[in-house]
Structure formats: structure tokens, C-alpha cells
Amino acid sequence: MDSRSYKDHFFKKAKVQGYRSRSAFKLIELNDKFKFLKNGIKLLDVGSFPGSWCQVAREKIKNGKILGIDKKEVKAIQGVKFVRGDFLDKKLKLIAVEYFKSNIDVILSDMAPNTTGNKSVDSIRINELCLAILNFSKKTLSKDGVVISKFFMGEDFEEIRTTAKKCFKKIDFFKPNSSRNESRETYIHCSRLST
């Protein structure tokens, strides 16, 4: 199966199952591996447009609280609150903290900046977002909470790993099958916050 047919396979599967994008399957695979979507949790999805990760979370979590943040407007999903804005803005971070009123159990980030076409620049920009998520989680995540964030393999990978190791007792790296073969994206899974 070439990469185009591979892409079409997940694209068609998303349409059939009612997901807004093929990226839903990345979260499904991540959860199958790490089992972090549980009933009653408080979950923050950063970079939530078009909403497919929130769709998956809503299916898996009963009696929980889900908040999605994105610069773009996300079409409503029952049981999910969406806020439009830039997560890197302090005001948005405060809104997230206020909404949950206590520590967050799961922070997800599939955030990606608009690409420039320069692989090195794009890698640095997306990895800066990953570092912002890790730093935010230090102050807001529950003790047994989980962070999942996208990043690109590149020259600043070491900085991500070092930062994660300082904050968490357990870190893993995982590239879902539903990621495009040619993509340099992978995901970091962090758990057991260091005290």
C-alpha cells in the first residue's frame, strides 16, 4: 500500500465512523497503548481543531470534563467546551485552569503551527509548542496525570527529552500507524509527575 492509499484508508475510515479527521485514529492508537482515557477525568485538548480528538475523548470518558482550545472555531460537540484562542496566551492558560478548578488529569496536544516549507524551522516551531505544553503541565497536572504531545524528530529533540525527564518519572515515545509514513511527527507520553 503506497502512502497515498494509506492516507486514503484512514481518511475514508474517519468518514465512515463519523470522525472529523483521520487524526482521530492517532488518539485511539495512543490510548490503546497507554490507557489514559478513563471515566471521570478532567481532560484538556490543546490545538483541538477540527475536534476529532475531542470526539474520541467524549466517547471514551463518562462523567468527565473536557475542554478544547484552538485558534480556529471548532464546531460544537455535546459534552465538550471549546474556547477559541492561542494557548500560548497567558489568558487562555488561566481560562483552562479556571474551567477545571483543580488539577488536570490528561493534557493532549496535537498542535502544529502553519508550516513554512523549511523542515528545520517547522521542526523548531512545533517542538517549541511541545515544550510549552510540558512546562504548563508542571503546574497544572494531577500527580498521576498524563501528557501526550506531538513533536517532530529534529535537532532539538534532546531538549524535549531532557525537559520531560526533569518533570516526569516515566516517558515514552510512540508513532501511531495512522501517522503518515513520510511524516517526522511522533508523540511523547509522560506520566507520574516528579514532585
Q: What is the pLDDT of residues 80-103, one digit of tens each?
A: 999 999 999 999 999 999 999 989
pTM of the model: 0.91
**Residue of 26, 42, 93, 150 with catalytic role:** 150
**What's the mean pLDDT in 49-71?**
97
Q: Say what the pLDDT of residue 5 is.
A: 45
150 noted as active-site residue: yes
Q: Which CATH number fits domain 3-193: 3.40.50.150, 1.10.1420.10, 3.30.300.30, 3.40.50.300?
A: 3.40.50.150
Q: Which residue has the higher pLDDT, 52 or 154?
A: 52
Residue 162, pLDDT above cutoff 90: yes
Residue 36, pLDDT above cutoff 60: yes
Tell me the pairing of strands 104-109 and 185-193.
unpaired
